[in-house]
Structures are given as C-alpha cells and as structure tokens.
Amino acid sequence: MRPEDVYELTGVADPRISPDRTRVAYQVWSIDTDKNDYRGAIWIARLDGSGEPEQFTSGDRRDGLPRWSPDGRWLSFVSNRGEDKTPANLYLIPAEGGEARKLTDLKESVESAEWSPDSSRIVFTARARDGAYDEEDDRKRAPRRFRRVFHKLDSVGWTGDRRKHLWIVDLDGDTRQLTDGDFEDDTPAWTPDGKRVFFAALRTPDWDVELITRLYAVDAAGGEPEQITGDDAACGWPAFSADGRLAYDWTVEDGTDPHHTQIAVAQKPGAAAKVLTSSLDRQCGPYPPIRGPVWNGDRVVFAVEDGGNAHLYSVAADGSGEPERLVGGEQVIGGFDIAGDALVYVGSTHTTMRELYSGRDGKQLTHVGKDFTEGRELSDPERFTAVSKDGTEVDAWIVRPPGFDPKTRYPVILTIHGGPFTQYGTGFFDEVQVMAAGGYVVLFSNPRGGSGYSEEWGRAIRGPVGDAGPGWGTVDYEDVMAVVDTALEKFDFLDGERMGVIGGSYGGFMTSWIVGHTNRFKAAITERSVNNLVSMFGSSDLFWVFERQFGGPMWDNVESHLEKSPSTYAKNIETPLLILHSENDLRCPVEQGEHLFSLLRLLGKEVELLRFPAESHELTRSGSPIHRVQRFDAVLEYFGRYLG
C-alpha cells in the first residue's frame, strides 16, 4: 500500500436487517479523489446471499444511517446532498425503491435516528444553534459566552452555543425539537408503546464538571425530562425489549478511571439494574463505538474488545448463565444487527476491508474491498508475545515488508496506540501497511493501560498522584520497550541500529517520553501528542477529566504533572524528532506541539514541526484525503532520511 492508495479505501458500515428478515441495508463508503471528500451510498443485500447486492441510493454525496420502519414500508437515511457544506438531513425512501424525499431541513447534521414502534415518527439527535450563527461574517458576530467548561469538542467545534438535543419528525416532515437547554442529549430509544423516549444525557446542574451520563425519559408529546438512573454509574445507549425491559451500557462511577463498560438490564424503567457481563472482565463498550446493546428475544447482544479483536456476545437478560460468544476469531467487528436467527455483522482482518457477513458461520455478503486487497500485496501481521521487565506478557505484532527476504536486515518502526484506554486491533490498519510497504518491519502492541484485557490491565498506569498508581511512562514504557527487545531477540532480520518510533495522542505522549529517556531510536515522529500535562489541562476540550486517572487535579499536583510531562525532559532528547500536529485539534491542541518544538529549537536540538491546516485530532482516520496522503508521504520521507 502506497500513500496515494488512500484514495481507493472503501468499506461497509452500519448494517440493519429488514423487519421481514429477508434483506439488510448498509452503507458503502468511499473517497472522491477529485472532490477530496468522502462519499457514502445505501446498498441492499439479500440475507440468504442470493443475487448480487444492489445500490439503493445515489451516493453522490454522503448517504448513511439506514433505518427500516417497523412496518417495512420505508427506509430512512441521512444525506448531505445539495450544496457544499450542506448538513446531513433525514430522507425517506420506499422500502422497494423509488424517489427519496427530504424529511428535515436543519442547519446542523442529524447524528442518530430511531423509528417509533408504529412507524409514524422518527426521533433523532441534532445540534440546536444559537441565533448568532445566522451572522456568517465572523467580524460582525457577537462574542460567544460560555458558562460551562465543556464548551468545545474535537471534530465538532464549539458546543457551548449549539447543544445536542432530541427532535421528532413525522412522515409529512413536521419537525419539532423535543429537548432543549444548556445540556447534551444523545442515543434516543422509544418505549414499546411509543409514548415516551428514553435517552442518555448530561443534565444535572454541574454536569460539565461531573460528566456522569445518566438516562432520562421524556414524553413524546413534549415536557420536562425525568431522570431515570442515579449517580452510581454512567449509563448510555438505552434499548427496550418488546415487553418493556430496559438494557443499556453501564460503567461504574467511583471517581476513578478507567473502568470497563458493562451491559445492564432493568426489568422495568427505574428498577434496579442487574449487570450481566462482569464475569467477562472485558471492555463491553468498544472504541470507536459500534452500537449499544441489541435485544434478541430474551437475550441481549453486544460487542466486546478482547486481545486486539472485537467480538460479538449475547447474554440472557435475566442473568442466568454466562455470556456466550456469537462471533469470534482474529477480526474486528465494526457493526452488527440481529433479529431471531438472522445475524449480520461488519468484519475486517489485517488484510481485508470491512465487509458484510451473515450468520455465526460468517457467510460473506459483500466484496467491496476486493479490488483493493487483490490489487496489491498486503502484509499480514504475525502475533507474538513480548515479556516485560517484571515478567508481564504483552500482546504484540510484527509486520514484514512485501517481498520479504529473510536474509535481509530491515529497519524497524515501533508504532504506539493512543488512548491510553484503547487497543490496537486485528482489523485492516492502513498505517502499518504503508510503513511496511516503505521497506520497514513494523512493530505494534497492546501495553498495559489499554483496553481489550482485564480491568486491572487497563488501570495499571493510573497515578502518579497519591497511591493511585505509577502513572504514564512507567510499566507502559517498559512494555513497549520489551516489545522491541523481544522482537530483536526473536527475529534476526531486524536491524537494531536502524529503529524509529511513532505514535499519536497518548501514543504521541509515549513517543515524546521515549526519546526523553533513551537514545535507542534514530528518528521519532510524535503526532497530536500530549507533551505538557499542565498546559494540556486547560487547553484541551476535555483533558481535565484525566484527573480521575491521574489520581487528583492538576492545581494540587503541579509537580507530579510536570514530572510526567515529556517536555520536562527536553534537554535529554538527542533523537531527531518530527512533531506532526493538526491546527484544529481540540483534543490535544496544537500548542502541545508548539510547546515542545519551541523548547527543542531553543535547546539547539534536531526538530521539525509539520502543521496541517483545517484538521482535527482525527486527521489520520477521517481527515482530508489529500492531507492523509501528504502525511503518509511526510512520515516515509522522514524515516527514510534517518533509517535509510
């Protein structure tokens, strides 16, 4: 895979089974090279695999979020068709095909949508703009006034004057806003009788400080929302069974992070919920989010992160018996739906795009990535086990270059994931494919502090305040260095004198930390990184919540925050360093890159700063296709300069 192959990436997303269980609607996304933008179309496939899948919407822009009406007559979807910068609105099309009709005409995009049980209405979420946005000239617009610390969000922008709320639209297009106020509402679900809507929200007086998501209910006709869940857990993605039982994501609230997300069920709204998945000791809320729990008769189906994979499980709603794995294997599941014996899911492996499969045996229904995967030689990563300094075993992978020759000694690149409470997965990963095709052996791993393993594993780098734990840059540092050491010992074709390291976000923190504590690497690239925990506290959209992981707030623990800041060790950095940052990054603001760059330049170190305009924290995943290609070019050029 070469950098320019980004333009040929494609995949399947968001499958939904028709009410008669004969068909499945899903999105196929692709990239429009000429427009430098992403495209999406709704497709339909037969569940039994008969016939070829058919394109259902034009896909001239970005169509997505397909949802069948319960009576089977309609399919709704969202699309940004129209002029440039048009928001994604709801459209309606007959289930058997025909002309799509626009249902909503909002100035902000529709983000989620659910049909009412009687197929007469759709509840959806969208942001409600302050009237000041009607003034398009920033030089004339009134200043923004914020009273909450949570007033911006990466890849979204300002949220303090455009909160996310619930809306309802009927089939005639009559649209009304259901919730309002200085709150954040999300993931709505209808009650079986269609009289109320349940949703997850931040709605308490100090919600922006607490950040505990609770479940609420509101009459479909309007009114004041009623709080359903309490303070003991963060709750989200409500889902009702036909007889009124309520399932949802449940994450214990004890003032510390991280914790595994679990699946809980209440026999009726407001009743005490029973957590059903604690025996798994795995993260049941994968990142990026796939979807919430789905009812199937008396069982609840959900996704689980497990050792680099994402699998599907089901569990009895009454808590009898252990959770059962429905779909496993070395793959990442990125979407699913289930109804009776009908099961569909989106799956990807190291060398395959996200495709649609049906049944537990995984009958493949789509081949959208066939041209991409068969038209080039992709490297298949090999899993191995590294042994850390204290004897801990760490999952790791090695990626050989295409055309691998065991008699050749190859330069090595270590790449480190973000989070930290996330995992590197076994799905297709363009990063390692491009670097391997550049002639490098690539190493990646899941060190302590990440998800996909036990909760103890994920909490291993809490601190350093008090007795919370050792903090970042401790056992996680030992783990990733052990991956390098184990690989050098195990694979004799690695050139230990030509090694580079790269990472983004928390992985950027680790990259900056590594070069401040060892000179083993000949070059490093730190992306969208955390370099100074003190300034990051106030400049990020939500970094202040990390006091729950660090063990205490910055203002009472400035010295410990500086001790764990990579920039504190700038004088020790001798490794040539490329600092890569996006100018619209609100998660790890560009000042983090500027801060380290200025320090190193003033210290006379070998450093460069590469800034991408108009990009957020998500540059490598959903940024402008041109910028994604230019970034890959820059990465290969920089490592090529120092590693040969």
Question: How far lies 374's CA from each of 66, 353, 368, 377, 509, in Å?
Answer: 29, 11, 11, 7, 36
Pairing type for strands 11-17 and 23-32 reads antiparallel
| Active-site annotation holder among 165, 259, 260, 617 | 617
97 φ/ψ sector (left φ>0, alpha ψ -120 to 50, else beta):
left
Residue 356: both structure tokens together:
């649609």
3-state secondary structure of 326: strand
Beta strands at 410-416 and 393-399: parallel, antiparallel or unpaired? unpaired
Q: Which of 446, 465, 444, 432 minimizes the C-alpha distance to 282? A: 446
Pairing of strands 299-306, 152-153: unpaired
**For residue 258, which of 417, 416, 419 has the smallest C-alpha distance?**
419
Measured CA to CA in angstroms, residue 199 lies from 57, 241, 246 at distances of: 29, 15, 12
617 is catalytic: yes
Report the C-alpha gap between 37 and 15 in whole angstroms.
Answer: 22
CA 552, 558, 560, 565 torsion-angle sign: positive
Of the listed 505, 512, 567, 582, which one is catalytic? 505
**Contact between residue 433 and residue 426 where contact means Cβ atoms under 8 Å apart:** no
Q: How far apart are CA 176 and CA 121, in angstroms?
A: 11
Q: Region of 249 please: left (phi>0), alpha (psi -120 to 50) or beta.
A: beta
Q: Which residues pair with 76 in a beta bridge?
A: 67, 92
C-beta atoms surrounding 109 within 10 Å: 15
Phi-psi category of residue 308: left, alpha or beta, with phi > 0 → left and psi -120 to 50 → alpha = left
Q: How far apart are CA 376 and CA 529, in angstroms?
A: 32
Ramachandran class of 534: left when φ > 0, alpha when ψ lies in -120 to 50, beta otherwise: alpha
Tokens 């989070």 found at? 419
From the number of C-beta atoms within 10 Å of its C-beta (0-12, 13-18, 19+), residue 16 rates as buried
> Quick check: bond before 470 cis, omega within 30?
no
CA distances from 227 to 63, 128, 216, 237, 475 (A): 34, 22, 4, 15, 41
The answer to whether 15 and 26 are in contact (CB under 8 A) is yes
DSSP, collapsed to helix, strand or coil, labels residue 176 as strand
Cα–Cα distance between 335 and 21 in angstroms, integer?
Answer: 17
Q: Which of 215, 199, 196 is closest to 125 using CA atoms?
A: 199
In sequence order, what DSSP letters do the residues of 252-299 get, joined into one string?
Answer: E-SS-S----EEEEESSTTSPEEE--GGG-S-SS-SS-----EEETTE
- DSSP state at residue 438: T
Residue 593: both structure tokens together? 């890159």
* Active site (catalytic) residues: 505, 617
